[in-house]
Amino acid sequence: MTAVAGAPRKVSVAWRQRTVEVEYTWIAPERAAAPLVVFLHEGLGSVAMWKDFPQRLCEAGGFRGLVFSRPGYGQSSPRAADEVWGVDFMHQQAHEVVPAFLDALGVQGAPWLFGHSDGASIALLFAARFPERARGLVVLAPHLFVEDVTVENIERAKDAYLHTDLAHKLGRYHGDPDSAFWGWNRIWLDPAFRTWNIEAEIAAIRAPALAIQGLDDEYGTLAQIRGIAQQVPGTQLLELPACAHSPHRDQPEAVIAATVAFIAACDQ
């Protein structure tokens, strides 16, 4: 298996009149001619939280990979003490942070975007805003709109963070787990966020898309990925049994096989 090319590094990214440090790592950068897959993590994810999945996917498909932690996560700059994310936090990431990060690393052309949960929504928003910068999309358990089941389980996550050892567990993956958790949890539970909806925006996507979701997803129904198919013609759907909100953990082989086949078919 190809190893990650060295320990995670950091790059400075200018964002909204300040500078943040973004943690990242390359996978198989020596494959200069291979498709580049950029991994966008979930709402509580990070470089470390992906574990070995990006390496496994890149090895199976012969891809290059770029894995990073968004500001507020992993070893990237944490939120400022008084920073509260707004309803447009995923739009800010897609329209400002991700392109600035790719520019800072000199990424040229149009990479593939592989996103999970919030990261999948950010990937969709990025591809809609910058069609020339997205070769294609693989989105796992994306959010297009807010469902009751999502809010209910995020409420349960808040209770677990306050009353169990969840903060300690997240500390394995984040330099500042409070920054990661409360940035994500507070905005998702903000009543103003209940009207968040990106269905109309993603109709601008021109890249091929593979949308994957588990039949047992505790954070969303199949209406999410089926909504992508309604808005983006040609979207391929993969609905996985015995699979919850993290298909790459619950059904990694199925996700890898589908992704490799999808990218190969699109790049013929």
At CB < 8 A and 24+ separation, what contacts does 123-126 make? 123/40, 123/94, 124/94, 124/198, 124/202, 124/205, 124/228, 125/90, 125/91, 125/93, 125/94, 125/95, 125/198, 125/201, 125/202, 126/94, 126/95, 126/98, 126/99
Q: Which residues in 119-146 are b (16+ Cβ under 10 Å) and which e? A: bbbbbbbbbbbbeebbbbbbbbbbbbbb
**Residue pair 149/184 in contact by the 8 Å Cβ criterion:** no
Q: According to the model, what pLDDT value does residue 4 have?
A: 44
Task: Pull the structure tokens for residue 247.
Answer: 């298909």
Cα-based torsion angle of the residue sequence 233, 202, 106, 42 in order, rounded to the nearest 10 degrees:
-110
**Which pLDDT does position 82 carry in this prediction?**
83
**Where residue 2 falls among pLDDT bands split at 50, 70, 90?**
very low
Q: What does pTM read for this prediction?
A: 0.96
Is the pLDDT at 207 greater than 90? The verdict is yes
Residue 6 pLDDT grade (very low, low, confident, very high; cuts 50, 70, 90) = low
Specify the pLDDT at position 59.
Answer: 98
Domains in the chain (CATH in brackets) are: 9-266 (3.40.50.1820)
Residue 8: pLDDT band by 50, 70, 90 thresholds?
confident
Asked whether the beta carbons of 145 and 121 are under 8 A apart, the reply is: no
**Where residue 83 falls among pLDDT bands split at 50, 70, 90?**
confident
CA distance 162 to 156: 10
Mean pLDDT, all residues of the chain: 95
User: Above 90 in pLDDT, residue 267?
Assistant: no
Q: What pLDDT, on a 0 to 100 scale, did the predictor assign at position 193?
A: 97
Residues 12-51 pLDDT 10s: 998 877 899 999 999 999 999 999 999 999 999 999 999 9
pLDDT digits (tens, 9 = 90+) for 139-181: 999 999 999 999 999 999 999 999 999 999 999 999 999 999 9
